[in-house]
Structure 1
Amino acid sequence: MRVLVLGGDGYLGWPTALHLSDKGHEVAVLDNFARRQYDVELEAESLVPIEDLATRIDAWQEVSGKKIISYIGDLLDAEFLYNAVREFAPDSIVHYAEQSSAPYSMIDREHAVYTQNNNVVGNLNLLYAIAEINPDIHLVKLGTMGEYGTPNIDIEEGWLEVEHNGRTDRMLYPKKPGSYYHLSKVHDSHNIEFACRIWDLRATDLNQGVVYGQETPQTTLDPRLATRFDYDGVFGTVLNRFVIQAVLGQPLTVYGKGGQTRGLIDIRDTVECIRLAVENPAERGEFRVFNQLTATMSVSEIADLVAEAFPGPVQIEHLDNPRVEQPEHHYNVKHTGLVGLGLKPHLLSDTLIESMFDIVGANKHRVNIDRMLPQVSWRGAIKS
């Protein structure tokens, strides 16, 4: 298949492009390098050095003999996007090209507006490009488990059978997002479902949990193929922060009591989920939803796991939670769709032991400690 990966220079987009290319697909990547500009703005770089896109593409061709095509531009530029889709003529489009940080979206009004405009309008331009150029293109869109929030009922895979006043219907699962970033993803999902229903498009929405890990079988073939390792208080994930703190001999900083529970997934499973979705496309007119996670753990459980896995003493420290979220909650997520397609998940403990401590140890001199603690408060931009 011909697959166009939007956001193909990013943390997940780049290893996804490599994985798909390695599995025999013809791949192109599209990116505007906004993620690299966020590093400049926030004065926080990837822990692991990453090469520019051209160097990465050349390195992949040297290592694999396979070519990846690149398009440099912005989804908000509809003419550019239409031209790229026409020229490459993909069978599937994998859409990662969005501002992906909840804290970034909550910095202030400007960042909230930017996030919503960038994500929602870019996604709308993409839907129109598919509808007008080739409605048979399969859209594989990266959503987030954060769309659902933490309801007091089990979370189904995208859809919910409802009985009300003696009548039944199948409708999109109710959403209760926790940031303006997550809200943008909810808007995306509703817009995609509408396009499938009205224009007969085909789409798979992957509501992904928190991704951990930094290596895939392809990125380890050459240092120039490495992907990002974010740890700062805006784009970093809790697991990355804990691993770095353990290696540096600092306390693991748990926000609040640590009862917040989230879905988790290994980066190797993320790229495999994309492959499975691409190779098993949704039907025309179908808005298919998979919950893309392989485990659920509370923040405290993640801290305990890191402390147990690290070969040395580790302390755990509790901080005031900068987010507005339930400290403890019900969290039971259905996630059978991707397993049904053949996903064989990796275990979190395996990833920690095999690679993450070593990766951090080799790059600990690059840590900016000042950027590790919370930088954004959910209520900080609003004057009381």
Structure 2
Amino acid sequence: MRVLVLGGDGYLGWPTALHLSDSGHETAVLDNFARRGYDRELGVQSLVPIEDLDTRIAAWEEISGQHIAAYVGDLLDADFVYRVLREFQPEAIVHFAEQRAAPYSMIDRQHAVYTQQNNVVGTLNLMYAMAEIDPSIHLVKLGTMGEYGTPNIDIEEGWLEVEHNGRKDRMLYPKKPGSFYHLSKVHDSHNLEFGCRVWGLRVTDLNQGVVYGQQTPQTARDSRLATRLDYDAVFGTVLNRFVIQAVLGEPLTVYGAGGQTRGLLDIRDTVECIRLAVESPADAGEFRVFNQMTESYSVSQIAEKVAEAFPGPVQVDHLDNPRVEQAEHYYNVKHTGLVGLGLQPHLLSETLIESLIDIVAANKDRVDVDALLPTVRWQGGLKTT
């Protein structure tokens, strides 16, 4: 199958492209390198050194014998999007090409506007290109579990059967996002469902939980194939950050009481979920939603797991929560769709944390300790008089 990976230079996009290529698919990547630009803007870097895209692609061809085509450009450039689809003629598109950090979207007005414009308009350009050039293309779009928020009812896989005043209907599950980034993903989901319903597009929306880890079977084959490992308080995920703090002898920084519960999954499961979705496409006109997670833990429970796996003493500090979110909440997520397609999850274990500890220990000299502490507050971007 011909698969185009948007955002194919990123943390998840690059290992996904390798996994698909290694699975026999003719793969291309598209990127505008915005993620590397965020590092320059924030003055941070990936904990694990990463090569430029040309070096990565050449290394993969050398090691695997498989070629990955590359397109450099922006989804906000509609002419570019149309040209790429006509030239590569993908049968499936995997869409990672969005600004992905909630804290980044909450820095101030400019970052909120940028996030919404980049994510929503870029996806709209893609939708129109698909509808006009080839509506049979299957779009696998990375959403987020954060679209749902933390409702006091079970979270279904995208859709909800509702009975109201004696009548029944099936509608998109109500959304309660927690940042302007998560709001952009909600807008995407509604736009894509509209495109399926009105234009006959075929879309799989993967509402992904928090991804942890840094290695897949493909990236582990050569250091030049490594994907990034983010640890800073803007782009770093909580488990990665806790492991780094433990290795450095720094306190694990739990926001608030640590009762916030989130869905998680291993990076190896992320790339496999994408492959399964690509190889079992949605039907024409179908907006299919999978909740892409394997288990859930509270922030405090994650800190406990890191402390148990780390061979030395670990201190936990509770900071004032910079976010506006519930301190304790109900969280029960249905996530059977991908398991039904054949996913065999890697669950969080001490062995996995220990392997992450080894990766961090080998690169600890690259850590900027100041970047571990939160600087973005959900109300801090507001200017009052």
TM bucket normalised to smaller: over 0.9
Secondary structure in 2 matching 1:174: coil
Question: Which residue pairs with 1:77 in the alignment?
Answer: 77
Identity %: 79
8 Å Cα contact 1:306-1:352 kept in structure 2: no
Shift of 1:350: 5.0
Question: Which residue pairs with 1:42 in the alignment?
Answer: 42
- C-alpha separation between the residues in 1 aligned to 2:350 and 2:22? 24
Secondary structure in 2 matching 1:220: helix
Equivalent AA in structure 2 for residue 145 of structure 1: M
Matches within 5 A, 1:140-155: 140-155=140-155
- C-alpha separation between the residues in 1 aligned to 2:74 and 2:11? 18
Question: Which residue pairs with 2:345 in the alignment?
Answer: 345
8 Å Cα contact 1:204-1:290 kept in structure 2: yes
Shift of 1:375: 1.5
Shift of 1:275: 0.1
Equivalent AA in structure 1 for residue 299 of structure 2: V
Matches within 5 A, 1:266-305: 266-305=266-305
- C-alpha separation between the residues in 2 aligned to 1:375 and 1:13? 27
Question: Which residue pairs with 2:218 in the alignment?
Answer: 218
Question: For residues 108-137 of structure 1, what are the alpha-carbon distances to aligned partners after superposition, in whole Å with 9 as ceiling and x for unaligned?
Answer: 000000000000000000000100000000
Shift of 1:250: 1.0
Question: Which residue pairs with 1:379 in the alignment?
Answer: 379
Question: Which residue pairs with 1:233 in the alignment?
Answer: 233
Secondary structure in 1 matching 2:151: coil
1:192 aligns with 2:192: yes
Question: For residues 175-215 of structure 1, what are the alpha-carbon distances to aligned partners after superposition, in whole Å with 9 as ceiling and x for unaligned?
Answer: 00000000000000000000000000100000000000000
Secondary structure in 1 matching 2:363: helix
Structure 1 gaps of 5+ residues are none
- C-alpha separation between the residues in 2 aligned to 1:381 and 1:101? 15
- TM-score, normalised to structure 2, is 0.99
Equivalent AA in structure 1 for residue 355 of structure 2: S
Equivalent AA in structure 2 for residue 5 of structure 1: V
Q: In structure 2, do the counterparts of structure 1 residues 124 and 352 end up closer, same or farther at CA, with 3 Å as the change threshold?
A: same
- C-alpha separation between the residues in 2 aligned to 1:111 and 1:252? 28
- C-alpha separation between the residues in 1 aligned to 2:365 and 2:31? 29
Question: Which residue pairs with 1:171 in the alignment?
Answer: 171
Shift of 1:15: 0.0
Q: In structure 2, do the counterparts of structure 1 residues 116 and 95 end up closer, same or farther at CA, with 3 Å as the change threshold?
A: same
Question: Which residue pairs with 1:252 in the alignment?
Answer: 252
Equivalent AA in structure 2 for residue 64 of structure 1: S
Equivalent AA in structure 1 for residue 284 of structure 2: R
Equivalent AA in structure 2 for residue 340 of structure 1: G
Question: For residues 83-118 of structure 1, what are the alpha-carbon distances to aligned partners after superposition, in whole Å with 9 as ceiling and x for unaligned?
Answer: 001100000000000000000000000000000000
- C-alpha separation between the residues in 1 aligned to 2:58 and 2:351? 28
Shift of 1:351: 5.5
Question: Which residue pairs with 1:361 in the alignment?
Answer: 361
- C-alpha separation between the residues in 2 aligned to 1:347 and 1:51? 29
1:182 aligns with 2:182: yes
Equivalent AA in structure 2 for residue 302 of structure 1: I
Shift of 1:354: 4.8
Shift of 1:383: 3.3
8 Å Cα contact 2:309-2:354 kept in structure 1: no
1:156 aligns with 2:159: no
Secondary structure in 2 matching 1:348: coil
- C-alpha separation between the residues in 2 aligned to 1:239 and 1:112? 25
8 Å Cα contact 2:254-2:319 kept in structure 1: yes
Equivalent AA in structure 1 for residue 169 of structure 2: D
Equivalent AA in structure 2 for residue 97 of structure 1: A
Equivalent AA in structure 2 for residue 362 of structure 1: A
- C-alpha separation between the residues in 2 aligned to 1:383 and 1:88? 46
Secondary structure in 1 matching 2:383: coil
Equivalent AA in structure 2 for residue 27 of structure 1: T
Secondary structure in 2 matching 1:113: helix
Secondary structure in 2 matching 1:345: coil
- C-alpha separation between the residues in 2 aligned to 1:202 and 1:81? 18
Equivalent AA in structure 2 for residue 178 of structure 1: G
- TM-score, normalised to structure 1, is 0.99
1:332 aligns with 2:326: no
Q: Count the aligned residue pairs.
A: 384
- C-alpha separation between the residues in 1 aligned to 2:153 and 2:113? 31
Matches within 5 A, 1:92-171: 92-171=92-171
Shift of 1:382: 1.3
Secondary structure in 1 matching 2:66: coil
Secondary structure in 2 matching 1:323: coil
8 Å Cα contact 2:310-2:354 kept in structure 1: no
8 Å Cα contact 1:15-1:218 kept in structure 2: yes
1:6 aligns with 2:6: yes
Shift of 1:357: 0.3
Question: Which residue pairs with 1:243 in the alignment?
Answer: 243
